[in-house]
Amino acid sequence: MKPTGIPHASTAILAERLVRQFDGLTAVDQVDLDIASGEIYGFLGPNGAGKSTTVKVLCTLLAPTGGRAVVAGYDVATQPDQVRLRIGVALQEAALDPKQTGIELLRLQGRLYGLTRAEIEGRLSELGRLIEIGDALGRPIATYSGGMKRRLDLAAALVHNPEVLFLDEPTTGLDPVSRARMWEEVRRLNRELDMTIFLTTQYLEEADELADRVGIINDGRLVAQGTPAELKRSVGDDVIVARVDGSARAAGPAVEAVPGVQGIESRGDEMIITALDGAATIGAVAVALNTVAPVRYLTLRTPTLDDVFLELTGNHIRPDESAQREVVEVGR
């Protein structure tokens, strides 16, 4: 839905033709957003697409170069203090003092937001239930694992009970167990507090699993929005994945001629084929591939968000490999 210019009472985040440039380079290019209160909105794209820059503008850390944005009812450019009082932010790089204990950090955060001692203790009790931090709160942050630091940073963003929570790639670098735990905490915050959550990610399954709606950004432009199911339906009903002995590209003309094939993408020995009716098409695809090279692997699946991104941009979303290699042990 296109923004209408005046945020409705149920609108948590509104952006109109939002632009952010750096020395003439456009990192965010005419982005429109209209995110409802209580919604989990997934902002999906590869590294360098403009996700983090968009978040920093919405969080008042960067001023927009053009357009406007309203968060929790206040303009990010002209009323940044009002916005900051109503949002929580957990960015990719958590700015945590390793000499502090977790409880010291959370109490300091509460005092910075003007909470009384009683209010702070009440919030810490609630957060202990919502965010699984455990006895580690009494230890120096230097002793925390990566997963524990992420959860502590999330708790710090929630001390003042914000209306809108921004999570910038919250699970990058975490192992699968820690990632699943973070997903459950995000769901719990949304379910129990009806909190609006703006989640940037480069993990397709994360957006698919958590988001009510997804926005796909590429080269600073919002190229698609919708529910994960709507976006996946937009690229066709089925996907056939094939691997052959040799180059898949050589089999392209034969596969393109098969009735029902909508498109193909070849990479090395792998070919990804979109088809209206995969079950009816897969046999003919196998025959066509075999005319060029023996088929080693052939499978049929439903579309993914990566297929959507490929259809819209011609590229795959590939999570940063260095972040994937940085497997952080699960916090205890």
- Please enumerate in sequence order all residues whose Cβ is within 8 A of that of 163, keeping only pairs 6 or more positions apart, or say none: 12, 37, 72, 86, 87, 195, 196
pLDDT band at 236 (very low <50, low <70, confident <90, very high): low
**Which span out of 2-6, 148-152, 208-212 was modeled with the highest average pLDDT?**
208-212
- Please enumerate in sequence order all residues whose Cβ is within 8 A of that of 116, keeping only pairs 6 or more positions apart, or say none: none
Q: In this model, does residue 5 exceed pLDDT 70?
A: no
pLDDT band at 321 (very low <50, low <70, confident <90, very high): very low
* Mean pLDDT across the chain: 84
pLDDT band at 318 (very low <50, low <70, confident <90, very high): low
Q: For the packed helices 102-112 and 146-158, what is the interaxial angle rounded to 10 degrees?
A: 20
Q: What's the pLDDT tens digit per position in 98-145?
A: 888 888 988 998 998 888 999 988 888 877 776 777 777 888 988 888
Q: What is the pLDDT of residue 251?
A: 87
Q: How many CB atoms lie within 10 A of CB 302?
A: 12
Q: What is the pLDDT of residue 30?
A: 93
pTM of this structure: 0.76
Percent of the chain with pLDDT over 90: 30
Please give the distance of CA 205 from its chain centroid, rounded to a whole number.
9
In the block, which residue shows the tokens 């109109």?
A: 16
Return the SS3 of 104.
helix
DSSP 101: B
Q: Which two tokens stand for residue 286?
A: 């196998």
Q: What is the pLDDT of residue 93?
A: 66
Q: What is the pLDDT of residue 166?
A: 94
Q: What's the pLDDT tens digit per position in 61-105?
A: 999 999 999 999 999 999 999 999 999 998 876 678 888 888 898
pLDDT band at 221 (very low <50, low <70, confident <90, very high): very high
- Strands of 25-36's sheet in order across: 25-36, 11-22, 66-71, 74-75
Side chain identity, residue 15: A
Check residues 219 and 307 and name the one with the higher pLDDT.
219
Q: What is the pLDDT of residue 204?
A: 82
Query: What span, in angstroms and rounded, lies between the C-alpha atoms of 328 and 332?
Result: 12
Domain annotation for the chain: domains and CATH numbers:
11-231 (3.40.50.300), 236-302 (3.30.70.100)
Q: What are phi and psi of 295, to 5 degrees?
A: -85, 125
Q: What is the pLDDT of residue 322?
A: 41
Query: What span, in angstroms and rounded, lies between the C-alpha atoms of 98 and 143?
Result: 8
**Which span out of 122-126, 193-197, 273-277, 315-319 was modeled with the highest average pLDDT?**
193-197
pLDDT band at 232 (very low <50, low <70, confident <90, very high): confident
Average pLDDT of the residues in 145-168: 86
Q: In this model, does residue 324 exceed pLDDT 50?
A: no
Q: In this model, does residue 39 exceed pLDDT 90?
A: yes
Q: In this model, does residue 330 exceed pLDDT 50?
A: no
Average pLDDT of the residues in 191-216: 89
For the chain, the first-to-last Cα distance in angstroms comes to 43
